[in-house]
Chain A
Amino acid sequence: MIKLINIELYKIFKKWRTYIGFIAIAILIPMIEFAISFEGTRSLNFVTREIQQTFIFVGNLLNTYFVSYLILNSLAIHIPFLITLVAGDLLAGEATAGTYRILITRPISRFEIVTSKFIAGMIYTFLLILWLAVISLGLGYFLFGTGELIVLKSGSIIVLAKNDIFWRFLLAYGFALLSMGVVASLAFLFSSLVENAIGPIITTMAIIIIFLIISAINIDIFQSIKPYLFTSYMNTWSSFFDNPIDTTEIIKSVSILAAHIIVFFGFTLFIFRQKDILT
């Protein structure tokens, strides 16, 4: 199995589309951070303007944590796209290339094929999130240094002590990995159904965008279905920046997202094991 995962990773990282995500992050994040650095504290003031009337602020709130938090907050659509680009190709790509025939005629089970590809896809997702974390926090540290993190949440302003932040980021990125894992496994599921990678990429993105739009529109009927949309739980990463942390909410979101991954993967496995390979 490890051999298979290695092979799948090798295949993933020999395709140039894999690097689109890494390159996009390597361009996008520095652009955002340089822009913030150019703007200076103005980009922070929209958060703090109101309280600055009552309080005097001293210290470095415009720091790598603030910037990384901002970035994590604004990439809800972009990162899923980069994930589907690879995850949607995992199975469909073999169909398009016709390489299912040389792969499935080997003495390996379809379970092993699906699972190794899934794990390889998850590793890619992990590396992309890690890359995002390293670039945002690393470049942010270089440009802005560290400091306390100011967060706006549930009508509260939360300031987290400098030494109380990093672990929250680790967990938040971990949670982001789980969210993106759902995206990846959905794209993977669609990838098992068709013979072309474009379909899974577009379908997955369409679902995410539709779900996000439904969640955003303040109509009762939409709001009542919101709890049934997995995208509603993808923002829970920000709960790690609450003080105190709402563990119940996080456990709920983690379980729901993990259940989605299991169900999507289960479906993929079920479909793929029955699938007649005609390409």
Chain B
Amino acid sequence: MEQNKIIEIKNLSKQFKDVKAVDDLNLNVYKGDVFGFLGPNGAGKSTTIRMLLSLISPDNGEIKIFDKSLKENRIEILSKIGAIVEKPDFYGYLSAYKNLEILGKISGREISSKKIMEVLELVSLEKRYKSKVKTFSHGMKQRLGIAQALIHDPELIILDEPTTGLDPQGMKEIRDLIIYLSKEKNKTIFLSSHILYEVELVANRMIIINKGSAKVEGRVEDLLNANKLRVAVEVDNSEKVKMLLSTTRWNENLETVANNKMIFNLPQNEVAELNKYLVENGILVNALIPTRSLEDYFLTITQKASG
């Protein structure tokens, strides 16, 4: 089935002096997606988003949004996009309302004051609409950032790390809002994040990028298949366990053995069974840690990026 492509990025590259920020990136976002754009800090997420919004121009490659070339249809495309790019900055000397009014006026359509108040209500800032933005906390600015992205009722919403700096309650509110916008308002959402868990909770499709290019792409369900866990089992004698399992169906699931740590790829419902079998056969199981392969991978590249 040919789905409606909302964003189509082909062979996108951007270099800053010696650093290749984005390197031959390809991705597709379809209508109705909540698309997780995942990568560690410095992976090229923001550079990609800036190119999607024409803040910076690509060295190479093509961006199509709503099936049209961004380069040639910039204004038409931007009128249907709402976005937060990095931290939410506003005209601090103006009120929240006035900021939205100004941004609304240049959004290509008439924005009523009723609409402004509705959007402020959606992000729970309606009581502070008169306050100057410079008096706002980071969380309030983050919410106002979402408000300005929604003010002109865009089809595509691009959110760059929208939960950065928020407390768990604030993070949850934003997640709920994303789900609401996707489910109730049928928006397509492009969500960048460096936290896998966050993407997993809201996205249906995702891509992981590192060093400017795509590493993994697909449906979140498939990529994070909860039925196939990577389970690290720590035992007292791995040789004995190997022998014991050699005749069982679990032999196929064994991936690696290092010292007394054995890694199995297992469906979730078999974890308990394996444990029971080992214990019944006199094996001392010190620890049984289920992890997911993608999570491991992501953790590795994130650690590399931050280390």
Partners in one complex: yes
What residues make up the interface of A, taking CB atoms closer than 8 Å to B? 3-4, 7, 10-11, 14-15, 97-109, 274, 276-278
Report the bound CA distance from A185 to B107 in whole Å. Answer: 27
Which 9 pairs from chain A and chain B are nearest by CB? A98-B89, A107-B79, A276-B56, A277-B55, A107-B78, A107-B108, A101-B85, A105-B53, A106-B106
> When the two chains form their complex, are residues B86 and A101 in contact, meaning their CB atoms are under 8 A apart?
yes
Chosen A-B contacts, 10 in total, with CB atoms closer than 8 Å, are A14-B91, A99-B89, A101-B89, A103-B106, A104-B55, A105-B78, A105-B85, A107-B74, A109-B74, A276-B56
Distance in angstroms from A138 CB to nearest chain B CB is 31
Distance in angstroms from A269 CB to nearest chain B CB is 16
Report the bound CA distance from A102 to B148 in whole Å. Answer: 8
Distance in angstroms from B238 CB to nearest chain A CB is 52
Report the bound CA distance from A169 to B83 in whole Å. Answer: 51
Beyond A11-B91, A98-B89, A102-B148, is A109–B75 a contact (Cβ under 8 Å)?
yes
Mask, B160-173, CB within 8 Å of A = 1, is: 00000000000000
> When the two chains form their complex, are residues A100 and B55 in contact, meaning their CB atoms are under 8 A apart?
yes
Does B5 sit within 8 A of A, measured CB to CB?
Answer: no
Distance in angstroms from A16 CB to nearest chain B CB is 8
Mask, B3-27, CB within 8 Å of A = 1, is: 0000000000000000000000000
List of A residues within 8 angstroms of B86 by Cβ: 98, 101
Which residue of A14, A103, A107 has the most chain B CB atoms within 10 A of its CB atom? Answer: A107
> When the two chains form their complex, are residues B76 and A15 in contact, meaning their CB atoms are under 8 A apart?
no
Other A-B contacts than A101-B86, A106-B103, A276-B56, 15 sampled, CB-CB below 8 A, are: A3-B105, A14-B94, A101-B53, A103-B106, A104-B53, A104-B54, A105-B53, A105-B83, A106-B106, A107-B74, A107-B75, A274-B57, A277-B50, A277-B56, A278-B56
Question: How many chain B residues touch the partner (CB < 8 A)?
Answer: 30
List of B residues within 8 angstroms of A109 by Cβ: 74-75
List of A residues within 8 angstroms of B93 by Cβ: 14-15
List of B residues within 8 angstroms of A7 by Cβ: 102, 105-106
Distance in angstroms from B151 CB to nearest chain A CB is 10
Distance in angstroms from A158 CB to nearest chain B CB is 48
List of B residues within 8 angstroms of A15 by Cβ: 93
Mask, B105-116, CB within 8 Å of A = 1, is: 111100000000
> When the two chains form their complex, are residues A97 and B89 in contact, meaning their CB atoms are under 8 A apart?
yes
Does B61 sit within 8 A of A, measured CB to CB?
Answer: no
Report the bound CA distance from A1 to B122 in whole Å. Answer: 31
List of A residues within 8 angstroms of B148 by Cβ: 102
List of A residues within 8 angstroms of B57 by Cβ: 274, 276
> When the two chains form their complex, are residues B53 and A97 in contact, meaning their CB atoms are under 8 A apart?
no
List of B residues within 8 angstroms of A99 by Cβ: 89-91
Distance in angstroms from B263 CB to nearest chain A CB is 43
Distance in angstroms from B40 CB to nearest chain A CB is 19
> When the two chains form their complex, are residues A3 and B106 in contact, meaning their CB atoms are under 8 A apart?
yes
B145's nearest neighbour on chain A, judged by CB, is: A102
Which residue of A7, A14, A102, A276 has the most chain B CB atoms within 10 A of its CB atom? Answer: A102
List of A residues within 8 angstroms of B75 by Cβ: 107-109
List of A residues within 8 angstroms of B89 by Cβ: 97-99, 101-102
Does B87 sit within 8 A of A, measured CB to CB?
Answer: yes
Does B120 sit within 8 A of A, measured CB to CB?
Answer: no
Instruction: Among A10, A101, A106, A276, point to the contact of B78 (Cβ < 8 A).
Output: A106
List of A residues within 8 angstroms of B108 by Cβ: 106-107
List of B residues within 8 angstroms of A101 by Cβ: 53, 55, 85-86, 89
Beyond A106-B78, A276-B56, is A98–B107 a contact (Cβ under 8 Å)?
no
Report the bound CA distance from A101 to B74 in whole Å. Answer: 15
Instruction: Among A97, A107, A277, point to the contact of B91 (Cβ < 8 A).
Output: A97
Report the bound CA distance from A237 to B167 in whole Å. Answer: 62
Distance in angstroms from A117 CB to nearest chain B CB is 13
List of B residues within 8 angstroms of A10 by Cβ: 102
List of B residues within 8 angstroms of A102 by Cβ: 89-90, 103, 148
Does B206 sit within 8 A of A, measured CB to CB?
Answer: no
Report the bound CA distance from A270 to B54 in whole Å. Answer: 16
Report the bound CA distance from A103 to B102 in whole Å. Answer: 10
List of A residues within 8 angstroms of B81 by Cβ: 105
